[in-house]
A and B are shown apart, each in its own frame.
Chain A
Amino acid sequence: MTYKENAKKYIENYDLSIGDTIKVNKEDISYTGILLDRPEDADDGYLVLKLSSGYNIGVAIDNTTAELLEKGDKPKIGYDETEIPNDPEKQNISIVSTGGTVSSVIDYRTGAVHPKFTASDLVKANPELLDYANYNVKALYNILSENMKPEYWVKAAEEIANDISEGADGVVIAHGTDTMHYTSAALSFMLKTPVPVIITGAQRSSDRPSSDANINLIDSVIAAKSDIAEVCVCMHGSLNDEYTYLHKGTKVRKMHTSRRDTFRSINAQPIAKIQNKKVNINPEYAYTKRGENELELNTAIEEKVGFIKSFPGISEEFIEYHIDKGYKGLVIEGTGLGHVPDNLIPALNRATDANIPVIMTSQCLYGRVNMNVYSTGREIIDAGVISGLDMTPETTYVKLCWALGQSSEINEVYELMQKNIAGEFSKKSSIKDFLN
């Protein structure tokens, strides 16, 4: 129960519980309904009643009396556990749930959409999944995507590697959308995979009939059965419930706060389009095929990496702070081709002198960093900063975390940063790759 203070006392005083049918008498009216819990962030002056019409209302408790009409059960959310059948003819797909909108339901506790479903609930809520594969489902953790931390990437990578070594023909990870592209990049660097690893989610929570979760999930399973043995994000390709795109895990970014087609390939094209349950692979894409790689897991990672966005008037203190606090590496989201104001240059020098790698990316997101064009850029290069090429700032950040896990030597880290580990950059900028 999340009622507090006055409302809590009131409920205890009348010996009421959530789910009871009660009557609240006010001076000139009385309300009969089921007592529901109140959102945690709401105040303590009201009770929430579900009337027989189905409507909820808030009743101010001042000058009221209450009576219990009938004891009730607390409404239960979720399905009963049932066995998921196994068909030896079908491929085995592992579904790993991490929480987020793709696997969430309304929560009385806070009155908000909350990740409460487990992966097994997913299969039961989407029974047509059984037409496509056998499933091994696991709720790895249950957190909101904004609460994701690098240590969870490690846990996810280990779990996936484990599933693959135990015979999974593909893995689907259900993930909140906010930080999905960080996780997809992290898994791309940590895993060499012989099978598809597909990350998916939903922009409209799965508790609503219009949710995009069902299509994203089904298409992810289809992608997980395919020949594309890479870490990918599978999400709606347009506002229509028509097709999804399979994006390379290192080249994808959330680009809209609320649209279903929020995930876009940046400085790249999607690997494939999935429509009518068919994977249509982009013919220009040289992807890693199923079985081409041996399973390899490399989860060494450095969490103390700073991520700084430049802006007009930024003070060198932003850089100094990170050096003083012992950060092991810095990613800068510079302006334009990869710039920061020149007052930052001494601090950048100080950082690289202190063996702290600094990588320059662009807040333009689209296009490639090039610090040779303007004098400030050249000074930044002279300060020991290297280019993040055409990687997104987020992928660069994740890659630096990973690279610092491999070595603490700035030169070795720089070498890794300029080596293509998981298709995170390309040498050529195509005319096609903008705002699409």
Chain B
Amino acid sequence: MDYEKLGLKMGLEIHQQLNSEHKLFCPCKTELVDDDFDELVQRKLRPTQSELGEIDRAALQESLRGLNFKYENFENHTCLVENDDEPPHSLNEEALDICITIACLMNMHIVDEFHTMRKQVIDGSNTGGFQRTGMVATDGYLETPYGKVVIESLGLEEDAARRVETKDGFTEFRLDRLGIPLAEITTDPSMHHPDQVREVAYMLGQILRSTNVKRGLGTIRQDLNISIAEGARVEIKGVQDLDLMAEIVNREVQRQLELIDIKKQLAERNAEVLEDIHDLDELFENTESKILKSAETIKAVVLKGFDGLIGREVQPGRRFGTEIASYAKKRGVSGIFHSDELPAYGITQEEVDKVTDFLNIGEEDAFIIVAHDEDIAISALEEVKRRANLGLEGVVEETRKALDDGNTEYMRPLPTANRMYLETDIPLFKITSDRVEPIANNLPELPDVKQARIIEEYKLSEDLATQLVKRQEADMFEAILADVDVDATPVASLLAYDLREIKREGHDINVLTLDHFKGIFTLLADSKIAKDSVRKLAIETIKTPDMEISEIAEKNNLTMLSEDDVAKIIAEIVANNEAMVKERQMGAMGPLMGMCMKQLKGKADGGMVNKIVREEIQKLL
């Protein structure tokens, strides 16, 4: 695809959970909970007037869905603030400082005064019906291999509640995640190639990982803004896998191109969405279709000039009809039937003909059927008409959800700016240079810089250095080597690889402190233990963390033997094998080494054993 010619423009929005001790506006911990909840609270939300005097269209859209909510409360893990039964406490300054660090790393301008805003979100994921959010910094940039990318803004906001399930008209949320601080990073929409988006997302991830942020699944979420010249801006939520980014871009471009083409064809045909909603109950009185039979009512609308286009594929496996259906589904139907796919689903050709007759439509015309309760069917068909009408204009501005295969699905209209108004329960917060300067002068090293420096400074392999940085063990590594004069490789390999295995074997590696590591590697530096014993000694230290390291080594028989003792053992082994030595001469070296090492493993250095074995053989010759 010629992205330049299409006028492809992309921007990224990244949400990253911060690892502060407390939530953004209450003293609860920033941890997710797997326990059973203690209390379930039922709520409703209504859209309200925003500060600028108009009800926001996205908010209104959500309200029409008429959802009720249940919130899982915990006696110990959540408090009244999350449940919207207590005003928010003051802004968490630790979270703000993490954001200031991130802002500095992205060359941003920090605002003089932080104002907490309410951003209306009435899908229930925020108990108040709004998310608290504020602008920390603007106008930064990143140098990338594809050129400079502008970082438009950095926001600090509350994470939403975790959705559990939707059942019997209620959507249930767990309050543990609500209020965890999130950094929201937005780039400008100046990226023109999918690979560039991927690279920028990677770089942003690297920057975030150098600061005090949460790690693991679900702690970072990437949204993609995308448009082409003749299309419209679409926000794709929840791109988890960076490697899927290019595919999502390609499929979205394809979708927009198809919709533009559909629009052109509709214009040529003078297509029109007819107002009337028709009642088809009588036509389907004796239908064999199970879905239609079980519905309270069957209704239809006529789309003049749409024939063949509803069934047109806009993304692999998704048709224009799928787009229309996803709007209807927001009103509670599980799907629609359109004339391009019929006969099917138990609906016969004969029934299709009856409908065509009844609706009195021509060859170029199409119809869409919905079967459900009266209210829901009408409301769903209104949405069908609305979406079909939007099809006459081409691509629609939408928020869409990323699917696992690279396709996207309609979620809701794009929010407009006036979803936000001032959170009056929280005082304005000045960010003075006294706060920013100490942070700016003490910024963390970015992961790739750190990695390069470690390779250079400690002569480590690239692989080991990468793993140390990735597993956040580089600081521990450097702290050990600052005090212990020991070969860097065994230290790195314990931290980068062995610890993970030890953990997998069921040991609690968090028990190990810097002092423990220093003790272990001091023994190694002094040749008191063998390199091979480091791992075993670490495990034993976890079991008895209060004991002296040298005692642990002693107790577990990990201490190396003196050279005299080693020599005695080797002399004995060689003596016992005198016949072989005589026969094979220096050729006995191999088998004898094997026997000695078997007995001396972990008790003597291999090089020393080799030397003594050689000497002992020579004595006999």
Contact = CB atoms under 8 A, between A and B. Distances in A.
Interface residues of A, number: 46
Contact of A54 (B86, B129, B420): B420
A314 B430 CA distance: 43
Contacts, number: 127
Contacts of B133: 55
B340 interface: no
Interface in A91-121: 105-106, 111-113
B420 to A, nearest CB: 4
A242 B68 CA distance: 11
B117 A54 contact: yes
B129 A42 contact: no
Contacts of B417: 52-54
Interface stretch (A189-197, A204-212, A382-390): A204-212
Nearest to B416: A54
Nearest to B109: A29
A58 B428 contact: yes
Contact of A77 (B53, B86, B112): B53
A74 B418 CA distance: 15
Given A111-B422, A111-B424, A112-B424, A208 B48 contact: yes
B53 A58 contact: no
A57 B46 contact: no
Interface in B64-101: 68, 80, 83-87
A209 B46 contact: yes
Contacts of B508: none
A214 B83 contact: no
A49 to B, nearest CB: 10
B513 interface: no
Contact of A209 (B120, B135, B418): B120
Interface string B126-139: 01111001110011
A60 B42 CA distance: 44
Interface in B510-549: none
- In this complex, the member of A42, A51, A56 whose beta carbon has the largest number of chain B beta carbons within 10 angstroms is A56
Contacts of A215: 44
B372 interface: no
B491 to A, nearest CB: 44
Contact of A210 (B80, B115, B129): B129
A48 B113 CA distance: 9
B47 interface: yes
Contacts of A436: none
Given A54-B417, A54-B418, A208-B130, A29 B48 contact: no
Nearest to B47: A209
B53 A75 contact: yes
A146 to B, nearest CB: 16
Given A208-B130, A240-B43, A58 B112 contact: yes
A39 interface: yes
A56 B422 contact: yes
A48 B45 contact: no
A77 B49 contact: yes
Contacts of A111: 422, 424, 428
A113 B422 CA distance: 10
Nearest to B419: A54
B235 to A, nearest CB: 14
A58 B111 CA distance: 7
B99 to A, nearest CB: 14
Contacts of B44: 215, 241
A241 B424 contact: no
A185 B53 CA distance: 37
B49 A57 contact: no
Nearest to A205: B424
Contacts of B418: 54
Interface string A251-293: 0000001111000000000000000000000000000000000
A76 interface: yes
Given A51-B135, A240-B42, A75 B128 contact: no
Given A57-B111, A240-B42, A207 B48 contact: yes
Interface string B26-68: 0000000000000101111111110111000001000000001
A44 to B, nearest CB: 13
Contact of B115 (A56, A76, A208, A209): A56
Interface string A5-40: 000000000000000000000001101000000010
B119 interface: yes
Nearest to B133: A55
A242 B49 CA distance: 24
B122 interface: yes
A52 B188 CA distance: 14
Interface of A is mostly: loop
A46 interface: yes
Contacts of A57: 111-115, 135
B135 A106 contact: no
Interface in A230-258: 239-242, 257-258
Nearest to B127: A210
Nearest to B41: A239
Given A29-B138, A259-B85, A56 B117 contact: yes
Contact of B139 (A29, A55, A211): A29
Contacts of A76: 53
A363 to B, nearest CB: 24
Residue of A75, A206, A207, A209 most packed against chain B (CB within 10 A): A209
Given A58-B113, A239-B85, A209 B129 contact: yes
B49 A125 contact: yes
Contacts of B87: 258
A105 B48 CA distance: 10
A48 B134 CA distance: 13
Contacts of B284: none
Contacts of B155: 55
Nearest to B63: A209
Nearest to B186: A53
Contacts of A297: none
B424 to A, nearest CB: 5
Contacts of A204: 84, 128
B113 A60 contact: yes
A374 to B, nearest CB: 38
A47 to B, nearest CB: 9
A400 B251 CA distance: 76
A143 interface: no
Nearest to A41: B427
Contacts of A123: none
Nearest to A61: B112
Given A112-B424, A125-B49, A239-B83, A208 B129 contact: yes
Contacts of B115: 48, 55-58
Interface in A164-185: none
A55 B84 CA distance: 22
A46 B83 contact: no
A139 interface: no
Given A29-B138, A209-B129, A209-B130, A59 B45 contact: no
B153 A53 contact: yes
B400 interface: no
Contacts of B42: 240-242
Given A56-B115, A56-B117, A60-B113, A106 B153 contact: no
Given A39-B428, A106-B422, A259-B86, 6 more contacts: A51-B135, A53-B417, A54-B117, A60-B112, A211-B46, A241-B68
25 contacts: A29-B139, A51-B135, A51-B138, A52-B417, A54-B418, A55-B117, A55-B133, A56-B115, A58-B111, A58-B114, A59-B112, A59-B113, A106-B421, A106-B422, A125-B48, A125-B49, A207-B49, A208-B118, A209-B48, A209-B120, A210-B127, A239-B39, A258-B80, A258-B86, A259-B80
Interface of A: 28-29, 31, 39, 42, 46, 48, 51-60, 75-79, 105-106, 111-113, 125, 203-204, 206-211, 214-215, 239-242, 257-260
| Shortest beta-carbon contacts, A-B, top 10 | A209-B129, A58-B113, A54-B420, A54-B417, A240-B42, A55-B135, A60-B112, A56-B115, A209-B45, A29-B109
